[in-house]
Structure 1
Amino acid sequence: MPPIKVMIVDDSAVVRQVLSATLGEDHAIEIIGTAVDPVFALERMKTCWPDVIVLDVEMPRMDGITFLRKIMAERPTPVVICSTLTEKGSETALQALSAGAVCVVTKPRMGLKQFLMDSSDDLVSAVKVAARANVRRLLAASQAAPMPPAPKLSADAILPPGTAMAQTTETVVAIGTSTGGTQALEAVLRALPRVCPGIVVVQHMPEKFTGAFAQRLDTLCEVEVREARHGDRVVPGRVLIAPGGRHMLLKRSGAQYVVDVVDGPPVSRHRPSVDVLFRSVARFAGRNAVGIIMTGMGDDGARGLKEMHDAGAWTVAQDEASCVVYGMPKEAVKLGAVDRILPLRDIPSAILGRISRKG
């Protein structure tokens, strides 16, 4: 198999040097060039087009987001954003993911060279994931026609306090996803009505990104979407997204479902981990749950989904054709953890159909 051709675009000479050295040490990667800004990069890429672009955001002459959109419009190519975005707030990173970037690696302002050297394995992994990503699928999801935000109602407004349904969530939907998941989650959640089961989500994202991601989804969806806080209730019409850097578990408190947000070591190399969430859902919700595993690299969530399946939950995997990376769903299917394999567009109606049959 030929090596993955990589172009590095960053105005920092240190970043270009260290990234070239660390990525180039892997025999599966070939650095075909570096550029101080996107204008130089476009000239270099005319003679040899890369398989993956590693891209900064703040650069002279053309910023990285503008360059990303230009590339995706003219010749879609996997892009890994490598920037200091988290320190400035993650809205720009969300713009990059919405524009078609496969993933974002956050670099610090201080100790940059050491960080890049220490994170070489993660950077190599990000490039390899990007090389296998279905970028056209990412782009199609990011360019979906916008839907005007619906008037917002709280869960209590939908289900007044004191009624039986407000006190007990009959069904919990647990969703796990990773690479390509920001677009996939948006597609699923925007298709759901206000009155739908409570949903708990693990999307592999760095710390500080998930809050802005949840806020953005909340403006686009009829359901309430927010970053989970310790002790939050899972109620109809609410989506709780696990905060980056912490695990989220489902617990039962009398007749109510709540989430615990806890520290702990990475599980399946991730924190938050889909396996952690799914295992807790299997234990505390059992057959009163729906488990959904979507696009993502690796196998996080596959074992947890099998535990949900064995506990009587109804389980779904996104199909290969609609995945950006068919890793996590593939591993779940291999384990026999999946009741249905569905394209992304059919997952919202499947959730609602399953709930109506239970009712």
Structure 2
Amino acid sequence: MPTLVRMQLTKLLHAEPDLRVVGSAAGPDELVAQARRLRPGLVIAAENQLLGLERLARQQPVPVLLYSSAAPLAGMLREAARWGVFDYIRPLLSHEHPGFNQYRNELLRKIRSVRLPVVAPTVARTPTLPMPPSRVVVLGGSTGGTTAVESLLRSWRPSPNTTIIVAVHLPAHFTNSFVERLRKVSGLPVVAGWPGTTLEAGTIIVAPGGQNTVIRPVTRGAWLTWQTDVALEASPTPDEPSIDLLMRSAVRAFGRATTGVILTGLGTDGTLGAQSIWQAGGVVVAQDEASAAVFSMPKSVIQAGYATTVLPLAAMPEYLSRVVLPGRPAWVGPVTASPKFVAR
């Protein structure tokens, strides 16, 4: 939640002699670490911290009040209950607001209700929704692209909040063999992104050859998730799968939390997709000429001015590990050359 809100809540709670705020956390890693060290009786978490709550429930279970900008749907609270969420609170009101005293009393009632014995939830063997990603990385390539993707994924360990989608120009019958190759080099689950494949955090999806894949939103119960689908719009280039269409759809779904990586390949596919990412404030990484088997695709992106940085393939894992993190600013501005890291 915003720092100002956190400070105001802390001040409000400190005024109560039976309540004490023992700490605060800015992200999932810090949340889990603080909870394990301080062992609080309650955590108040913002709705954008669901990934951290899932990890908290596994490593240090604790009751959670969800600070929500709007009343959550009943289905959302039912799903969130498996992460310890027992109720929610509305946005904090100012002291001058006529409804402040009522808000304060309701907040304190919910907090003090945690003093009652907490019954551990029964582990139900029912299907649960996969954790949606908060960031997406699109790896695009053509000639030499399969080898480049293998090399990148062999060394890169992405943030667990991320879904990676791979689009390399291949015939349809090579899709399954490419998936198997990536499974051998990556520690993450790798699946073929046939229509209807749900985007799940911590997975790699391979766009099938011979067709154009896009990301579309889908509502399941109270949750908004994303899945792959066949593109209905025409591709700017004849290459399949279209990197341009995939990147554009990723931007529509994730905005500035989209990262595009343009690898070796012939042609210009990926340039218009990189433009969409750049305009949304995301990050675009282009492979440098020395490490690319065919420099056409990265060169097109670089010359158009949409590359955030230009890197040799071997330097990409370390750069992406620093850039693709929860809560980090996505945009650092474009560069048109120089195989150097961009200052973060």
The answer on whether the counterparts of 1:189 and 1:223 sit within 8 Å (CA) in structure 2 is: no
Per the alignment, residue 179 of structure 1 pairs with 143
Distance 1:266 1:257 in 2: 21
State the shift of 1:195 in Å.
5.0
Distance 1:194 1:294 in 2: 18
The answer on whether the counterparts of 1:192 and 1:222 sit within 8 Å (CA) in structure 2 is: no
State the shift of 1:168 in Å.
3.1
Distance 1:229 1:293 in 2: 22
Per the alignment, residue 351 of structure 1 pairs with 320
Mapping of residues 39-188 of structure 1, within 5 Å: 163=83, 167-188=131-152
Distance 2:282 2:226 in 1: 16
The answer on whether the counterparts of 2:167 and 2:243 sit within 8 Å (CA) in structure 1 is: yes
Per the alignment, residue 154 of structure 2 pairs with 190
State the shift of 1:282 in Å.
1.9
Secondary structure of the 1:320 match is: coil
Mapping of residues 287-298 of structure 1, within 5 Å: 287-298=256-267
What percent identity do the matched residue pairs reach? 32
The answer on whether the counterparts of 1:266 and 1:272 sit within 8 Å (CA) in structure 2 is: no
Secondary structure of the 1:223 match is: coil
Distance 1:354 1:242, change over 3 A: same
Per the alignment, residue 271 of structure 2 pairs with 302
Distance 1:194 1:314, change over 3 A: closer
Per the alignment, residue 287 of structure 2 pairs with 318
Distance 2:158 2:255 in 1: 24
Distance 1:232 1:348 in 2: 26
Distance 1:357 1:317 in 2: 22
Distance 1:344 1:310, change over 3 A: same
Distance 1:297 1:346, change over 3 A: same
Q: Does 1:281 align with 2:250?
A: yes
The one of 310, 329, 346 aligned to 2:298: 329
Per the alignment, residue 309 of structure 2 pairs with 340
Distance 1:322 1:257 in 2: 34
Distance 1:266 1:168 in 2: 27
State the shift of 1:194 in Å.
6.9
Q: How large is the RMSD of aligned CA atoms in angstroms?
A: 2.8
Per the alignment, residue 245 of structure 1 pairs with 210
The answer on whether the counterparts of 1:292 and 1:316 sit within 8 Å (CA) in structure 2 is: yes
Distance 1:220 1:310, change over 3 A: same
Distance 2:301 2:272 in 1: 7
The answer on whether the counterparts of 1:246 and 1:264 sit within 8 Å (CA) in structure 2 is: no
Which stretches in structure 1 are left out of the alignment for 5+ residues? 1-155
TM-score normalised to structure 1 length: 0.52
1:328 counterpart letter in structure 2: M
1:291 counterpart letter in structure 2: G
Per the alignment, residue 8 of structure 1 pairs with none
Distance 2:156 2:135 in 1: 15
Distance 1:184 1:311, change over 3 A: same
The answer on whether the counterparts of 1:231 and 1:260 sit within 8 Å (CA) in structure 2 is: yes
Per the alignment, residue 65 of structure 1 pairs with none
Per the alignment, residue 185 of structure 2 pairs with 220
Distance 1:227 1:219 in 2: 15
2:244 counterpart letter in structure 1: D
Distance 1:351 1:166, change over 3 A: farther
Cα deviations by residue, 1:149-205 (Å, 9 ceiling, x for unpaired): xxxxxxx99x97955995331110111100011110001111123754210111000
State the shift of 1:339 in Å.
0.6
Cα deviations by residue, 1:234-287 (Å, 9 ceiling, x for unpaired): 222211111111111112335423211347766411121111111111222110
Secondary structure of the 2:281 match is: coil
1:297 counterpart letter in structure 2: L
From the CA coordinates, give the structure whose radius of gyration is larger: 2
Per the alignment, residue 235 of structure 1 pairs with 200
The answer on whether the counterparts of 1:192 and 1:223 sit within 8 Å (CA) in structure 2 is: no
Per the alignment, residue 33 of structure 1 pairs with none
Secondary structure of the 1:298 match is: coil
Which stretches in structure 2 are left out of the alignment for 5+ residues? 1-53, 59-78, 86-128, 329-344
